[in-house]
Structure 1
Amino acid sequence: MQLSQITPVEKLLNTKEIAFYHDILSRPLVAEITKAEVTHYRQKVIEQGIAIDTNELIHTIVLALKKQSSQRLQRVINATGIIVHTNLGRSPIPQTIWQEASETVCGYSNLEFNLNNGKRGNRMGMLSKILSTYFGGESNILVNNNAAAMHLILKTFAQGKEVIVSRGEQVQIGGGFRIPEILEESGAVLRDVGTTNITTLDDYLKAINENTAMVLVVHQSNYYIEGFSQRVDINLLAAKLPEHVMLVVDQGSGNQIAGIPGEPTVANYLKAGVDLVCLSGDKMVGGPQAGIILGKQQFIEPLSKHPMMRVFRPGKETYALLEKLLIHRLNHDCAANNRIETLITQPIEWHQERAQQIASIAPEKLPLVATKFLIGGGTTPRAQYDTWAIAILSDESPSSLIKRLRNHNPPIIGVVQQDQVLIYPITLFDEELTIVKEFLSELI
């Protein structure tokens, strides 16, 4: 047995198969993985007495490198039928917006510099005016996500005080995030009222005492209650609360599209007289991850001065992207159209034609399936829209087939429903139709 016959790591790193991963993972990381695999292979040779096979060793190293590379942040093709997919980066940012913002963020900027007087400036800059114009509200502030927005509001106005929340709104969203826990973490005291399905105005009013800081209305995120249920009209609640009790809405989705079932717009809440509304910048707004807090100036100002604001404030990229996006939206520029609004208003014939573009390569193997698509992202659980998906008929098991889709470059993320793999063209970008079509052609 000649262990010295095992190809040295440095030489392995220069082989074509392994060197391919230098640009993907970095040479130092490739070297680290290669060394580990060589060590394992050497041990295997000693224990099993096998003959040294360099090709086998290279193959083993490449498999390890491929596994590592699948964990890097990369583009995927969303074929799930969920527009705002939490696991797939939520809302895509339009290329035009990204390119325009890059001119600001790739150099120096006036992020905290007032060009009019040459002194330190406000980080919000013109974005504050843009947010007020787009959503409404007297004033606003930006933090790094909506959970941070909720925490900052509670920390600022309700630490050691009671916050009234309907039992039907004590939700848990993805990743184990629970409203009661963030209340506890902020130092606020939860006072739950009503029942799971019914909360009345009297439930709120009877729970108020001298230690009540606010009534908190929470977006139900990824579920809804049907049948015998009741929620209080926000206009009535705003009108009836005592002056010392704030009304805060965790609107969550950032919806500004009228007419979506069970999904009031941000503007509607502000017009109702809510003191503060917080929402996500990367769901239905379609921008970067951010927590946007809008509302009355008297409440925004204490938030901006709270010590935790330093912890929660976003970076320059977030400010630049959101500002550019909303300017385009206010100008009704098609380069920044709300993708959700565009897709939910398409006629069913458009959906069918889109699916047939792909299925036409082999209609008998790729039958169309009438189904529903979702906005997703914990935004509109009640809203489902008609569409057509493509089923892949194959001798392979659904689990094997869905894995082959994921292993494609770029990965294609489909879904398994009723024991068959479905591709939803509704969530594909136009240029991705060809990629999916070519993959399915090879597969079939």
Structure 2
Amino acid sequence: MRQLSQIPPIEKLLNLPEIASYHTILSRTIVAQIVKSQVSIYRDEIVQTHQVVELNTLIERILAKLAYQNQIRIQPIINATGIVVHTNLGRSPLPQAIWQEVGDIVCNYSNLELNLLNGKRGNRMGMLSQVLQAYFGGEANIIVNNNAAALHLILKTFAQGKEVIVSRGEQIQIGGGFRIPDILADSGAILRDVGTTNITTLDDYLNAINDNTAIVLIVHQSNYYIEGFSQQVDIKQLAASLPEHVMLVVDQGSGNHLSAIPSELPINSYLKIEPDLICFSGDKILGGPQSGIILGRKDKIEKLAKHPMMRVLRPGKETYALLEKILIHRLNRDGKADNRVESLINQPISWHQSRAKQLVDIAPGKLILRPTKFMVGGGSTPRAQFDTWAVALNSRLSATTLIERLREHTPPIIGVVQNDQVLLYPVTLSDDELLIVKDCLMTLTAKTDF
């Protein structure tokens, strides 16, 4: 058909400035794939409908696909949700200074598995074991790539084909469909549930123990809690009552080691009870890289380290380097890697209000100061909420439209919708991000349709 000759060659389309601008962001190869695909679809439409070629229509379609591709690539965003450890937004942000410090290690060769004293193969944990012990306590430790992997490794090592006792109230499902019963089944362990959803007693645990019982597992309840007529076992009493052949394992989950956060036992409190093993995430309240940290008895840790699955679940060099460096700075209390959750909890309410007011003053009436609460998040401490101030967007536009416009900003700004109104929480913004949000709100509120 003659009309098809009016469609420019792929190379010419690729070189159009508005399309070429995506080469650096997405790669020229992927841009070419999208252009070819859209041209092919458009050619088929022309053949079938005999319509006139509209070059602008084709280019608009290509740009729409490129914009979509750009949205799904990983990129920095601004967290204005009031949730400090937001799983969808990458959990805890790493301190920029620490990332720069470990750059020479992760971007070059390192002694990851080399003993510099004798020139022989070394242990990946290196000095990190001592650092973890100094920071948390416990006889020994090991790390894997996340806390789900930590729990799976423990069950695979010590409970394959054996029973694991878990309270019904702790058989949780967290984000992404991860369920405690499923991970037990996959590890080869046999679930023995005890108690009821709201009450599990010491006798419930002890009466369920038999010769095939390997572990009593205490599970962090993650993102839900039970109020009212409920009762949980005294962990200290449980630990003292277990027979010799039954391990006590605690999936603490959140990595909470701060007494400032109420409603759940921190890691150091569990360690005083001396469970056989305790595992938790390194990228939640701890504020480190994604990792699963296991602390506990030396003989148990050594057995985990020798399990074949350990090679499957071990982290990369970046995780070891970042975690070691962060915890060294924490031990030195030099302020270079302060815990973000702890610092925000300890800020006076006047600090929260002042930051919110900086945004409200951009357009009083269009932006409104709102007292509210912020959360730690990340499947941790669901009961713990702390006073803060947010900024409500008072606009003729719908909340859906506003939240989309904020997401379309560069970098995207992620707020929340409450009672059909968009709220932005300055508490989760860095100082640099606060300036970016200011500029965005200046532009947004100046528009005639706001």
Q: Report the TM-score, using the length of structure 2 for normalisation.
A: 0.97
Offset, 1:259:
3.5
Residue 215 of structure 1 aligns to a residue whose secondary structure is strand
Tell whether 2:272 aligns with 1:271. Answer: yes
The aligned counterpart of 2:291 is 290
Matches within 5 A, 1:180-259: 180-259=181-260
How far apart are the structure 1 equivalents of 2:263 and 2:273? 16
Q: Residue in 2 aligned with 1:77?
A: 78
- Asked if the contact 2:260/2:342 (under 8 Å) is kept, the reply is no
Matches of residues 129-168 of structure 1 in structure 2 within 5 Å? 129-168=130-169
Using the alignment, how far apart are the partners of 1:356 and 1:427 within structure 2? 15
**Structure 2 CA distance, aligned partners of 1:49 and 1:437?**
50
Secondary structure (helix, strand or coil) at the match of 2:376 reads: strand
Partner-residue secondary structure (3-state), 2:97: helix
For 2:32, give the aligned amino acid.
Answer: A
Distance 1:47 1:76 in 2: 43
Deviation at 1:69, TM superposition (A): 0.9
**Structure 1 equivalent of residue 398 of structure 2:** 397
CA distance in 2, matches of 1:3, 1:72: 33
Q: What is the DSSP-based 3-state SS (H/G/I as helix, E as strand, rest coil) of the residue aligned with 1:37? A: helix
Of stretches 262-271 and 410-419 in structure 1, the one that deviates more from structure 2 is 262-271
Aligned CA-pair RMSD: 1.0
Gaps of 5+ in 1: none
- SS in structure 1 of the partner of residue 62 of structure 2: helix
Matches within 5 A, 1:6-405: 6-405=7-406
Q: Residue in 1 aligned with 2:428?
A: 427
- SS class of match (1:65): helix
- The residue matched to 1:381 in structure 2 has which SS? strand
How many percent of aligned residue pairs carry the same amino acid? 68
Distance 1:46 1:424 in 2: 52
CA distance in 1, matches of 2:63, 2:211: 66
Q: What is the CA-CA distance between 1:53 and the residue it aligns to?
A: 2.9
Shift of 1:370: 1.2
Structure 2 distance, partners of 1:396, 1:353, is 27
Secondary structure of the structure 2 residue equivalent to 1:263: coil
Given residue 271 of structure 2, which amino acid in structure 1 is its aligned partner? L
Q: TM-score, normalised by structure 1?
A: 0.98
Deviates more, 1:148-157 or 1:47-56: 47-56
Task: Measure the CA separation in 1 of the matches of 2:435 and 2:160.
Answer: 55
Secondary structure of 1:39's counterpart equals helix
Question: How far is the alpha carbon of 1:46 from its aligned partner?
Answer: 2.9
Deviations 1:328-374 (A, max 9, x none): 11111212000000001111111111100011011100011111110
Alpha-carbon separation, structure 2, partners of 1:60 and 1:186: 48
Q: 1:302 deviation in Å?
A: 0.6
Instruction: Measure, in 2, the Cα distance between the counterparts of 1:333 and 1:230.
Output: 41
Q: Which whole-Å deviations, capped at 9, do the CAs of 1:163-184 have from their partners, x for residues lacking one?
A: 1111111110000100011111
SS in 2 for 1:389: strand
Q: What letter matches 2:190 in structure 1?
A: V
Offset of residue 401 of structure 1: 1.0
Q: Report the 3-state secondary structure (helix = DSSP H, G, I; strand = E; otherwise coil) of the residue aligned with 2:258.
A: coil
TM-superposed CA distance for 1:54, in Å, is 2.5
Separation of aligned partners in 2, 1:418 and 1:303: 49
Which letter does structure 2 place at the counterpart of 1:378?
A: G
- Cα drift, residue 237 of structure 1: 1.2
* Cα shift at 1:270: 1.1
| Paired amino acid for 2:139 | E
CA drift at 1:45:
2.7
Aligned residue type for 2:18: E
